[in-house]
């Protein structure tokens, strides 16, 4: 197991590098000049040239890439092209909000998704199964930002149980948790739909296996058969695909942060895009890449833990 962990840790380094490189290239290689884009189409040539120089865009691509990596290693994310503020400070402020949102949402998704999937598999083709399947297909189809709006309408505007917008006072844990509930439910319930659908088909697959019949034949109680024998091995595919859903949840968190006007990386990213602040955009993408790599790593580790072939 330690060897497996070390291996996975080492493997995530090149993945991180590769994505960061792609981000670097996308911003530079796609037609369109970031300096012109930032200043608008009517800017004078002198102004564009000056900005290009300041952004370091006049250097050759390999030189730019070298500088980019050097700054990254130093943790220097540069200054915003628009406001001149330190991007690292901005990210340091936004990051905790995004971390708490995604972590709680993923927890909700797993904690609800697996039991619902097991339940619908066991009750296959009965009422509970149909309801569960319709709900999970709806959850797969609804855009996260729209689901967020529906939850705001229901729980914040009509029932007035929870606050709709903002991140809450940063020094007040209760207020901050109350502000977290709606956005986390939005992302968490959507992830629940995907995980439940997957868990259902994984469970159905396993329940049809011979060893499950054997377990039943030797007189084990149904509960033990389902949980200790069936779910145990259904967890292997569930964990590996849950990682993919967790990564796509990161994407959805962008618009959810916008809907709930929460401070966070997503809101920062959208701001950077709308203001055409490419240095900020690039840095936010690097942080998101770190997120994705961390989730993939965590998935690998949980996978190693549930799959005995890797554990031993």
Distance of CA 275 to the CA centre of its chain: 24
Q: Tell me how far apart the alpha carbons of residues 219 and 10 are, in angstroms, rounded to a whole number.
A: 46
How many CA atoms lie within 13 Å of 223's alpha carbon, on the beta-carbon side? Answer: 0
Stretch that binds another protein, among 71-79, 97-105, 233-241, 283-291 (CB under 8 A): 283-291
Given candidates 118, 234, 254, 268, which one binds another protein under the rule CB under 8 A? 254
> Residues 167, 102, 8, CA angle at the centre, nearest 5°?
145
Site for another protein in 219-248 (CB under 8 A): 247-248
Choose between 34 and 215: whose C-beta lies nearer to another protein.
Answer: 34
Token representation of residue 248? 């796509």
Distant-in-sequence, close-in-space partners of 232: CB < 8 Å, separation ≥ 6:
306
We find the least distance from the C-beta atom of residue 296 to another protein, in angstroms, to be 6
Which of 10/217 has CB closer to another protein? 10
Single residue of 182, 281, 287, 297 touching another protein by CB under 8 A: 281
Q: Give me the 137-156 binding string for another protein, x by CB under 8 A, dash otherwise.
A: xx-xxxxxxx--xx-xx---
Please name which of 263, 264, 259 lies closest in space to residue 284, comparing C-alpha atoms. 264
3-state secondary structure of 33: coil
Give the whole-angstrom CA distance, residue 90 versus residue 96. 11
Structure token digits, residue 81 = 């092209």
The answer to the question of residue 160 lying near another protein (CB under 8 A) is no
User: How many residues in the chain?
Assistant: 312
Tell me which residues in 3-42 interact with another protein (CB under 8 A): 15, 18-19, 22-23, 26-27, 30-32, 34, 37
Give the residue, chosen from 91, 108, 238, 269, that forms a contact with another protein under the rule CB under 8 A: 269
Binding site for another protein (CB under 8 A): 15, 18-19, 22-23, 26-27, 30-32, 34, 37, 137-138, 140-146, 149-150, 152-153, 157, 247-248, 250-252, 254-255, 258-259, 269-270, 272-274, 276, 278, 281, 285, 288-289, 292, 296
């Amino acid at each position: 197991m330690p060897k497996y962990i070390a291996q996975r840790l080492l493997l995530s380094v090149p993945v991180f590098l590769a994505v960061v490189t792609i981000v670097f290239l996308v911003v530079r290689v796609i037609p369109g000049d970031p300096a012109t884009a930032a200043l608008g189409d009517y800017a004078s040539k002198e102004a564009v040239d000056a900005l290009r120089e300041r952004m370091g865009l006049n250097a050759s691509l390999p030189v730019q890439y070298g500088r980019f990596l050097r700054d990254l290693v130093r943790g220097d994310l540069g200054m915003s092209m628009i406001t001149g503020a330190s991007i690292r400070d901005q990210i340091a402020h936004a990051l905790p909000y995004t971390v708490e949102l995604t972590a709680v949402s993923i927890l909700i998704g797993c904690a609800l998704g697996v039991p619902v999937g097991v339940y619908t598999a066991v009750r296959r083709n009965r009422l509970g199964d149909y309801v569960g399947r319709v709900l999970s297909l709806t959850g797969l189809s609804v855009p996260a930002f729209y689901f967020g709006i529906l939850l705001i309408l229901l729980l914040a505007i009509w029932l007035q149980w929870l606050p709709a917008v903002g991140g809450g006072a940063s020094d007040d844990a209760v207020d901050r948790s109350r502000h977290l509930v709606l956005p986390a439910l939005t992302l968490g319930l959507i992830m629940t739909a995907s995980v439940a659908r997957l868990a259902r088909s994984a469970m159905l697959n396993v329940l049809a296996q011979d060893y499950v019949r054997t377990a039943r034949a030797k007189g084990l109680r149904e509960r033990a058969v389902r949980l200790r024998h069936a779910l145990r091995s259904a967890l292997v595919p569930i964990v590996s695909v849950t990682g993919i859903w967790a990564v796509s949840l990161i994407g959805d968190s962008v618009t959810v942060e916008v809907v709930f006007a929460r401070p966070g990386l997503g809101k920062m990213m959208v701001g950077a895009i709308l203001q055409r602040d490419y240095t900020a955009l690039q840095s936010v993408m690097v942080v998101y890449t770190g997120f994705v790599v961390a989730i993939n790593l965590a998935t690998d580790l949980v996978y190693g833990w549930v799959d005995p072939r890797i554990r031993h």
